């Protein structure tokens, strides 16, 4: 089976200086959350084989901090199309993933991440606050066969929950 990880970017800094939304940086809380998520994921069997991240500053920084603090060697690809995308485009992107990869991580934005996650499991209302990480088990061995309603939400963690569970991180 294939595994899909959806990581929403960490908390951004609305008070920082940025010209356009795409360039909005992470806040200190977002940087800490990204490091915590990376360290947590390293303790699981779900370290990504590949990371696709939005090129937005806050998403790219989230992906890099998580990867660095989790000590993952996962290749990271920056994809402009993940900024402002829609669920159907995400499904299309996933279908083109190299079949040799078992675990794919997408790093991006709401509302798309919540809507996409809900569609993957065939309905429901998934909530992904900033820095949340969701793990979906896809009921297929091929990325080409992923469709809405074909996944099981295995778990979803938030930085707030992890900070309580791992206060020393």
- Domain holding 76, by residue range, is 2-165
For residue 53, the domain's CATH number is: 3.40.50.1240
Q: pLDDT tier at 169 (50, 70, 90 boundaries)? A: low
Q: Burial letters for 104-140: b for 16+ Cβ neighbours within 10 Å, e otherwise? A: bbbbbbeebbbbbbbbbbeeeebebebbbbbbbbbee
The predicted-structure confidence for 21-45, as pLDDT tens digits, reads as follows 788 888 999 999 999 999 999 999 9
Residue 16 has pLDDT above 80, yes or no: no
- pTM (two decimals): 0.94
Considering its fold, how many domains does the chain have in total? 1
Provide the mean pLDDT of the chain: 93
Q: pLDDT tier at 130 (50, 70, 90 boundaries)? A: very high
Q: Which has more confidence, 100 or 21?
A: 100
């Amino acid at each position: 089976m294939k595994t899909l990880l959806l990581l929403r970017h960490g908390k951004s800094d609305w008070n920082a200086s940025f010209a356009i939304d795409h360039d909005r940086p992470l806040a200190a809380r977002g940087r800490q959350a990204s490091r915590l998520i990376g360290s947590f994921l390293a303790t699981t069997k779900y370290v990504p084989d590949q990371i696709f991240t939005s090129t937005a500053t806050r998403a790219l920084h989230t992906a890099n901090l998580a990867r660095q603090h989790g000590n993952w060697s996962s290749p990271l690809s920056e994809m402009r199309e993940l900024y402002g995308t829609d669920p159907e485009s995400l499904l299309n992107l996933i279908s083109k993933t190299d079949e040799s990869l078992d675990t794919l991580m997408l790093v991006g934005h709401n509302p798309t991440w919540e809507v996409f996650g809900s569609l993957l499991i065939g309905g429901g209302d998934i909530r992904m606050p900033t820095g949340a990480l969701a793990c979906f088990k896809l009921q297929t061995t091929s990325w080409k066969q992923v469709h809405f309603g074909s996944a099981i939400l295995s778990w979803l963690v938030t930085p707030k929950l992890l900070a309580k569970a791992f206060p020393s991180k």
